[in-house]
């Protein structure tokens, strides 16, 4: 008996020490990841366009490659009109157009205000004596010229969606409760997010219904996997899902662009709900859906997989997460349950206020006595 108590105490101490140590290691890794997405931001294959005479465009491409090898992926188009069409289709972030009047810079700042600002600043530093006209073909919201409002509001939206997934996973005792909770939050989250970002902060275009749908899809893609992993893997699943969401936020490129993040993290971030959500939101709200097909597919897959895991998960996963039975140590007898017959020949019968135990009576005799 003494050995059993000591073993149980030692196991509890190990578990109590392993959890904070593991979370501390995870904390350090995520902090490094977030820091690297800021300190290592620079163009890496940034898609841009160039239009004009062949001699000018070739000289520009050679100069860009010489100054910053691999920083830009330059595509030649016919003229300014072709460049504008490509910008509206979200095939590039900017276009450098050479005409008889000189060089001009055409932007789609709605695709990434940070990239647009960096390009304008870079042109001013490269050609300090020239006055280069800048045309914003697809401008960002006027109240969020630098894009900080959307990126600052998007972070809590995603993290709260993951936190709600944890709460719903812990409280939902049946599949029906989980689905109802998810559906209600998806709709309410889409409306609340739109009212905050569009109505309150005015950092989104004035299209209420489209904003609600986009934010609802993002919310579903974040919340459903958290609930699904919680249903099939309990606390471990919830920890893994929340950690993946936090990593996804760091790699989303919400404050810059995927092409500005270190390789291959920018591309990997677009396969996670936070990164795909940023792309879908900008494509849908500013570019009439152009360039958002892949992001929509990624979000749909995450949402469907999460719902599927919820359906195959334990029926009473919420109760198990809230308070699970303590498993006995190896070699220790399991506690007797109500209505069971212990090996000692005792009968355990339910009785109001406790258990009534008949000592020394075999099950058969007790049955005859009843």
pLDDT of residue 320: 45
pLDDT of residue 343: 47
DSSP class of 47: E
pLDDT of residue 4: 67
* 209/198 Cα distance (integer angstroms): 11
pLDDT of residue 276: 97
pLDDT of residue 332: 45
User: Torsions phi, psi of 359, nearest 5?
Assistant: -85, 140
Contacts with 120 (C-beta within 8 Å, 6 or more apart), sequence order: 105, 107, 134
Domains and CATH numbers, the chain: 46-139 (3.40.190), 146-321 (no CATH)
pLDDT of residue 323: 44
pLDDT of residue 124: 87
pLDDT of residue 369: 46
Structure confidence by residue, pLDDT tens digits, 228-237: 999 999 999 9
Global confidence as pTM:
0.81
pLDDT of residue 263: 86
Torsion sign across C-alpha atoms 139, 142, 148, 150: negative
First CA to last CA distance, the chain:
35
pLDDT of residue 349: 52
Q: Which segments of 58-171 are extended strands (E)?
A: 72-77, 94-99, 102-107, 134-136
Strand 72-77 with 347-351, pairing = unpaired
**Three-class SS of residue 204?**
coil
pLDDT (tens, 9 = 90+) of the chain, 370 residues, equals 555 656 667 677 777 777 788 888 888 888 888 887 778 889 999 999 999 999 999 999 998 889 889 999 999 999 999 999 999 999 999 999 999 889 999 999 999 999 999 999 988 888 888 889 999 999 998 888 777 888 889 999 999 999 999 999 999 889 999 999 999 999 999 999 999 998 888 888 888 999 999 999 999 999 999 999 999 999 999 999 999 999 999 999 998 999 999 888 999 999 999 999 999 999 999 999 999 999 999 999 999 999 999 999 876 544 444 444 444 444 445 554 444 444 444 444 554 444 444 455 454 444 444 4
Residue 93: asked if its preceding bond is cis (omega within 30°), the reply is no
Contact call for residues 339 and 348 (beta carbons, < 8 A): yes
DSSP class of 329: P
pLDDT of residue 288: 94
pLDDT of residue 35: 81
Each residue of 212-233: b (16+ CB within 10 Å) or e?
bebbbbbbbbbbbbbbbbbbeb
* 251/268 Cα distance (integer angstroms): 8
pLDDT of residue 330: 44
**Three-class SS of residue 51?**
strand
Burial class (CB in 10 A: 0-12, 13-18, 19+), 352: exposed
Nearest CA among 244, 287, 286, 289 for reference residue 269: 244
Question: Which position has the token pair 């005015």?
Answer: 202
pLDDT of residue 253: 92
């Amino acid at each position: 008996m003494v050995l059993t108590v000591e073993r149980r105490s030692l196991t509890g101490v190990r578990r109590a020490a392993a959890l904070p140590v593991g979370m501390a290691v995870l904390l350090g890794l995520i902090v490094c990841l977030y820091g690297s997405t800021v300190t290592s931001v620079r163009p890496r294959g940034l898609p841009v366009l160039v239009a004009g005479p062949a001699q000018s465009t070739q000289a520009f491409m050679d100069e860009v490659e010489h100054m910053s090898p691999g920083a830009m992926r330059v595509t030649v188009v016919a003229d300014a009109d072709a460049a504008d069409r490509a910008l509206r289709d979200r095939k590039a972030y900017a276009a450098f157009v050479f005409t008889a009047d000189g060089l001009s810079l055409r932007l789609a700042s709605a695709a990434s205000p940070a990239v647009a600002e960096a390009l304008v600043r870079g042109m001013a530093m490269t050609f300090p004596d020239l006055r280069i006209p800048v045309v914003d073909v697809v401008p960002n919201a006027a109240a969020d010229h630098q894009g900080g409002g959307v990126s600052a509001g998007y972070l809590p939206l995603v993290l709260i969606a993951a936190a709600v997934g944890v709460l719903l996973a812990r409280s939902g005792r049946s599949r029906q409760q989980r689905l109802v909770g998810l559906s209600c939050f998806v709709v309410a989250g889409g409306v609340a997010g739109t009212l905050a970002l569009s109505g309150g902060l005015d950092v989104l275009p004035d299209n209420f219904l489209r904003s609600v749908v986009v934010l609802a899809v993002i919310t579903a893609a974040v919340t459903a996997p958290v609930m699904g992993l919680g249903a099939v893997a309990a606390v471990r699943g919830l920890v893994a899902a929340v950690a993946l969401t936090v990593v996804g936020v760091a790699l989303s490129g919400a404050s810059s662009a995927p092409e500005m993040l270190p390789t291959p993290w920018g591309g990997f971030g677009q396969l996670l709900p936070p990164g795909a959500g940023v792309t879908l939101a900008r494509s849908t709200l500013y570019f009439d859906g152009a360039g958002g097909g892949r992001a929509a597919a990624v979000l749909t897959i995450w949402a469907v997989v999460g719902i599927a895991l919820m359906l195959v998960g334990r029926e009473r996963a919420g109760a198990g997460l809230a308070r699970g039975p303590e498993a006995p140590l190896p070699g220790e007898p399991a506690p007797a349950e109500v209505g069971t017959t212990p090996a000692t020949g005792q009968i355990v019968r339910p009785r109001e206020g406790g258990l009534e135990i008949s000592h020394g009576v075999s099950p058969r005799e007790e049955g005859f006595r009843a």
